[in-house]
Structure 1
Amino acid sequence: MSPNRAGHDPRACDQRLTRAFTFLGKRWNGVLIGVLASGPAGFAELARAIEGISESVLSDRLNELARLGLITRTVREGPPVGVSYQLTERGESLMPVLDDLARWAGENLPDPAA
């Protein structure tokens, strides 16, 4: 089969798209980034904001997002000692994509609560 205009086999999935959905398809990653778009938040605040996420999964996802450079973890000296998370510039750069996905879902996917 001949390649299309972009030089790709039309039946082959773009590897960049595969990487993006491997990351965004991991439960809670996109949601966490979306919640942090409103500004810095502590662990307990994030746990309350995201219904259904366990504390261990939240901790794992926050560590992964920090490792990828999408969020920062800041420890505030106490008492009491506190930790907050916020998007980095790299994390904020995902927001237009997530906003577009949310808009598309609102227009094209049924609301499970309806």
Structure 2
Amino acid sequence: MAEAETEIQMCDAAVTLAFSVLGKRWNGMIVSTLGGGPSTFVALRRAVAGISDTVLSDRLAELTQAGLVARTVDAGPPVTVSYALTASGEGLLPILSQLGQWASANLEVPAH
């Protein structure tokens, strides 16, 4: 019985770790958007409707620190910065797709 309890705690810790990053508003949408390929800050801001520049900047920094997004600077001219998913970030795409399918089938869209 103790072994089963240990497995449950390990799973809970892993899920907790995943949601410490993905549970933050916008992070899943940013990863999903970058699933279409590398993007600039401006293109990401347009693609993720409603996000502010400050929050997008913070979330990109967090996702980069977590190893899910890579930031590349092209010295130019002009200097351009692009963001792309790392291999770890790309590994999330099928999971996000499944999560979206589950949400469509099981959650109601709140009425406005």
TM-score category, normalised to shorter length: 0.7 to 0.9
In 1: Cα distance, 2:73 partner to 2:21 partner = 26
The alignment's C-alpha RMSD in Å is: 2.2
Aligned sequence identity (%) = 51
Answer with 37-46 or 76-85: which moved more: 76-85
Structure showing greater Rg: 1
Shift of 1:15: 1.4
Q: Pick the aligned partner of 1:68 from 61, 66, 69.
A: 66
Query: CA contact under 8 A between 2:68 and 2:88: conserved in structure 1?
Result: yes
| 1:56-97 deviations in Å (ceiling 9; x for gaps) | 010011111111111111112222211110001011011111
- For normalisation by structure 1, the TM-score amounts to 0.85
Uncovered stretches (5+) of structure 2, i.e. residues with no partner = none
- For normalisation by structure 2, the TM-score amounts to 0.87
Uncovered stretches (5+) of structure 1, i.e. residues with no partner = none
Question: Matches of residues 1-40 of structure 1 in structure 2 within 5 Å?
Answer: 7-8=4-5, 14-40=12-38
In 2: Cα distance, 1:46 partner to 1:69 partner = 18
